[in-house]
Amino acid sequence: MSRNAESTAFRSALEVIRAVEPRVADAIGAELTDQRESLKLIASENYASPATLLAMGNWFSDKYAEGTVGRRFYAGCQNVDTVEALAAEHARELFGAAHAYVQPHSGIDANLVAFWAVLADRVESPALKKAQVRQVNDLTEADWFALRRELGNQRMLGMSLDAGGHLTHGFRPNISGKMFDQRSYGTDPATGLIDYDRVAEAAREFKPLILVGGYSAYPRKVNFRILREIADSVGATFMVDMAHFAGLVAGKVFTGDFDPVPHAHIVTTTTHKSLRGPRGGMVLCQPELADQVDRGCPMVLGGPLPHVMAAKAVALAEARRPDFADYAQRIVDNSRALAEGLLRRGAKLVTGGTDNHLVLIDVSGYGLTGRQAEQALLDSGIVTNRNSVPQDPNGAWYTSGIRIGTPALTTRGLGTAEMDQTAELMHTVLTATTAGANADGTPSKAKYALDPALADKIARQATDLLAPFPLYPAIDLA
């Protein structure tokens, strides 16, 4: 696409929107400005390509397409079949997967599809067997009671939240915590690393139906071969949530024991984050689970979003290009450089560094909570998110950590030298920020003090740092 074509496409789109609701058009333009001027260090965010963004704004949005390719509950889905089949084909080829299901609207939806697919495949009960063959009308009240008891009384073993796990891995605030009897494995208190012997011990004791690997805030590689061996030893289905690091798998930075696809029975992911696609989810699985996975709609999903599946097909095609592997490697190079820059300046990092796209800073060394640090950095033009650290004394709301990642800045073209400068800006802000107090004089976990002049200075320096690396340089909305 030419520079003029990109600029014309987005400028024209905003003109059409502005004619109906100018405030929406203004908000869209303001978001682009904010993203251009801020150091985006949220590990779960990225910048999708103009082609990916444009693939979402079209007539596919108007189609209902319940079912799967060639088996729809609505007529007129031949073009939806085309884009869904293309997205699934690109996913299979990119990840070397036997089967791909590209309908999930998010990572949470992808996980729900996976959980219910495993339950339907593994749980033995007469009521479930009737339900699987769609004889729902034949189910008695006793059958439904037995079905609820079977499906709601299974066990899941996954990484604890404070060690880097995710809410959708069986924790109470999420529906997965109500579906499963969940137990967590943590990390070694001394190193912050997964202790596989302890995971194996927990699996032998707990005997889960599902062993979950994957994370949202663990800064190291995971050995999926060992976790599969643990799952096999107790007869568990091994599921991996690779939402955060899918781009590193696609780009062949994570291979062998560190690539989950050859080892897991079922793998879930988002399509944004390090994969750099549209917001959405995806499930990859072994052939024996394919039929159950393909029942995701209407099992747990609403109607598929064909316009997003079209964007997934575009983004996955982009990820199959040779330059994506270079991008994925630069993500990790930048992450390591950012970690090293912080360490040299005295920051405390969980596990002492990183092997992947993210870094987890324990900001208690600066005398701050994660919430205080997050807001002080935002005041200074640096966008991050607070996150728990292992054995976090401040809990999941205030936290003691800041999670940062490099996928977005790497997309913009920043390199290791700029990561060191970013570390300097962050360290300056965190050092200059002090914890505040409540009205009664007690320490506050939310209030903080930071000289506004310093915050403005750092924000200007952040903008200057980004200036040689314009975001969407072909797009001019003026």
Q: What mean pLDDT do residues 77-103 have?
A: 97
Q: What mean pLDDT do residues 456-477 have?
A: 95
Is there a domain that residue 12 lies in? no
Q: What number of other Cβ atoms are within 10 A of residue 456's Cβ?
A: 13
Is residue 24 over pLDDT 60?
yes
Q: Give me the residue label for tokens 């891995």.
A: 169
pTM over 0.95? The answer is: no
Residue type, 198: R
Strands (E), 343-391: 348-349, 358-362, 382-383, 385-387
Is there a domain that residue 45 lies in? no
Find the domain containing 80 and state its range.
59-319
Is there a domain that residue 8 lies in? no
Domain co-membership, 201 together with 291? yes
Is residue 178 over pLDDT 80?
no
Give the per-residue pLDDT at 146: 72
Q: What mean pLDDT do residues 150-161 have?
A: 80
Rg of the chain in Å (alpha carbons): 23
Give the per-residue pLDDT at 268: 97
Is there a domain that residue 432 lies in? yes
In this prediction, what percent of the chain has a pLDDT beyond 90?
Answer: 77
Domain co-membership, 125 together with 196? yes
Is residue 132 over pLDDT 70?
no
Domain end (from 285, 319, 353): 319
Q: What mean pLDDT do residues 255-266 have?
A: 97
Is residue 139 over pLDDT 70?
no
Give the Cα separation of 357 and 349 in Å (integer): 14
Domain co-membership, 383 together with 309? no
Q: What mean pLDDT do residues 179-206 have?
A: 91
Q: Give me the residue label for tokens 């560094």.
A: 353
Is residue 301 over pLDDT 50?
yes
Domain end (from 295, 319, 343): 319
CATH number of 442's domain? 3.90.1150.10
Confidence of residue 133 (pLDDT cuts 50, 70, 90): low
Give the per-residue pLDDT at 1: 47
Domain total for the chain?
A: 2
Q: Give me the residue label for tokens 């300056």.
A: 428
Domain co-membership, 291 together with 159? yes
Domain co-membership, 250 together with 261? yes
Is residue 124 over pLDDT 90?
no
Is there a domain that residue 436 lies in? yes
Domain co-membership, 426 together with 442? yes
Is residue 27 over pLDDT 90?
yes
Domain co-membership, 244 together with 257? yes
Is residue 446 over pLDDT 50?
yes
Give the Cα separation of 430 and 388 in Å (integer): 17
Confidence of residue 160 (pLDDT cuts 50, 70, 90): confident
Average of per-residue pLDDT values in the chain: 91
Q: Give me the residue label for tokens 């479930």.
A: 128
Domain co-membership, 248 together with 343? no
Is there a domain that residue 7 lies in? no
Preceding amide of 104 cis, omega within 30: no
Residues involved in catalysis: 64, 66, 241, 270, 273, 279
Domain co-membership, 313 together with 191? yes
Residue scoring higher pLDDT (117 or 130):
117
Is there a domain that residue 328 lies in? yes
Give the per-residue pLDDT at 177: 67
Confidence of residue 363 (pLDDT cuts 50, 70, 90): very high
Residue scoring higher pLDDT (166 or 172):
166
Give the Cα separation of 438 and 447 in Å (integer): 8
CATH number of 119's domain? 3.40.640.10
Is there a domain that residue 285 lies in? yes
Strands (E), 2-63: 39-40
Report phi then psi at 421, rounded to 5: -65, -35
Please check whether residue 128 is in contact with residue 151, taking contact to mean a CB–CB distance below 8 angstroms: yes
Residue scoring higher pLDDT (11 or 173):
11
Confidence of residue 477 (pLDDT cuts 50, 70, 90): confident
Q: What mean pLDDT do residues 188-205 have?
A: 94
Please check whether residue 469 is in contact with residue 414, taking contact to mean a CB–CB distance below 8 angstroms: yes
Domain end (from 298, 319, 340): 319
Collapsed DSSP state (helix, strand, coil) of residue 50: helix
Give the Cα separation of 70 and 78 in Å (integer): 8
